[in-house]
């Protein structure tokens, strides 16, 4: 069970992980990844004066593409899909502001088809003075998260920078038997929790149903998997170079869309979205 894995993970504090020298580059594949996976940590670092720079690689505009036919059948607002890119980018800026991250770089790489080399090229453009890279876990179940994590690890290796990674869908989709030995529990204080909650509230497009009959892209039970902040730190036997080995970590579940949510709601509640694996037990 993931609860056992989380309890067994060694604890660390934000201060243990802080880079007080150069810039910490915070990488996300989609708007909201970094807030879900590392929002408390970012808020703490920002509040204590660390130099943070955020780079979001896609605009997350494909999050409802797999439900396009369903949305039409349900008479969803006509501007829901065409306006999603701008809406999600605006939500991301609001969330980063709530976390205290002011150096922000949104990009428009393909959502649902993020390529490692393209992601790395983008990250190189914002790498000045970077001494730590924080990115999605390179073995997260979502393919875009894996690509962003691998690109972040490669950038860190090029720069001689430290690499750490945060899980997004790991404990929701992943197999606890394949937990990373570098997994750590990160301490958080009430101010960190408050800032993350304020940041999460910005992501209305992901946390609220887009129309009647459709559940949210990020359901409450997924949020419950982030009650305990987690981070992967490289160990002597598990380094950033391991990011190139897809045999490590959780089994990939390649889905063509951005982030899985729910589709039709019937008397038994929402059914998993097309392509979404059955989640593991909540913590």
- Looking at residue 116, its pLDDT comes to 98
Enter the pTM of the model. 0.83
- pLDDT category at 167 given cuts 50, 70, 90 is very high
| Domains of the chain by start residue, with CATH | 2-272 (3.40.50.10320)
For residue range 206-249, list pLDDT tens digits in order: 888 776 677 788 889 999 999 999 999 986 544 455 554 433 33
Range of weakest confidence among 47-56, 98-107, 180-189, 247-256: 247-256
The CA distance from 167 to 256, in Å, is 19
pLDDT score, position 99 = 99
Give the three-state DSSP class for 79: coil
**Model confidence at 268, in pLDDT bands (50, 70, 90)?**
very low
| Cβ pair 28, 149 in contact under 8 A | no
Is the pLDDT at 283 greater than 70, yes or no?
no
Distance separating alpha carbons of residues 281 and 183, to the nearest angstrom? 18
At residue 82, does pLDDT exceed 70? no
- Nearest to residue 193, comparing CAs of 226, 231, 232? 226
């204080």: which residue's tokens? 189
Dihedral of CA atoms 21, 230, 86, 207 in degrees, nearest 10, equals -150
In angstroms, the CA 2 to CA 173 distance is 11
- 277 vs 28, higher pLDDT: 28
Q: How confident is the model at residue 264 (pLDDT cuts 50, 70, 90)?
A: very low
**Angle, helices 33-47/190-200, rounded to nearest 10 degrees:** 140
Q: How far apart are CA 15 and CA 53, in angstroms?
A: 18
Q: Taking 80 as the threshold, does the pLDDT of residue 25 lie above it? A: yes
Mean pLDDT of the chain: 82
H-run or E-run covering 200: helix 190-200
Q: What is the mean pLDDT of residues 148-164?
A: 98
Taking 80 as the threshold, does the pLDDT of residue 266 lie above it? no
Percent of the chain with pLDDT over 90: 65
* Segment 59-79 mean pLDDT: 62
């Amino acid at each position: 069970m993931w609860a056992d894995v989380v309890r067994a993970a060694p604890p660390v504090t934000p201060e243990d992980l802080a880079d007080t020298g150069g810039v910490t580059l915070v990488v996300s594949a989609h708007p909201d990844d970094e807030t879900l996976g590392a929002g408390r940590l970012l808020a703490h670092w920002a509040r204590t004066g660390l130099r943070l720079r955020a780079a979001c690689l896609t605009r997350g505009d494909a999050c409802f593409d797999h439900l396009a036919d369903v949305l039409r059948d349900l008479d969803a607002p006509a501007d829901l899909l065409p306006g999603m890119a701008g809406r999600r980018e605006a939500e991301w800026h609001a969330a980063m502001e709530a976390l205290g991250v002011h150096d922000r770089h949104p990009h428009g790489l393909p959502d649902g088809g993020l390529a490692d080399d393209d992601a790395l090229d983008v990250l190189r453009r914002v790498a000045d003075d970077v001494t730590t890279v924080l990115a999605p876990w390179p073995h997260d179940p979502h393919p875009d998260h894996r690509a962003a994590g691998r690109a972040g690890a490669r950038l860190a290796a090029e720069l001689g920078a430290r690499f750490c990674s945060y899980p997004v869908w790991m404990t929701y989709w992943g197999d606890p038997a394949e937990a990373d030995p570098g997994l750590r529990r990160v301490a958080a204080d009430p101010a960190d929790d408050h800032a993350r909650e304020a940041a999460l509230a910005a992501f209305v497009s992901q946390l609220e149903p887009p129309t009647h009959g459709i559940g949210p892209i990020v359901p409450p039970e997924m949020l419950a998997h982030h009650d305990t902040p987690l981070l992967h730190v490289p160990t002597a036997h598990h380094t950033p170079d391991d990011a190139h080995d897809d045999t490590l970590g959780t089994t990939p579940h390649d889905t063509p869309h951005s982030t899985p949510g729910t589709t039709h709601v019937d008397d038994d509640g929402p059914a998993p979205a097309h392509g979404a694996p059955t989640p593991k037990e909540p913590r």
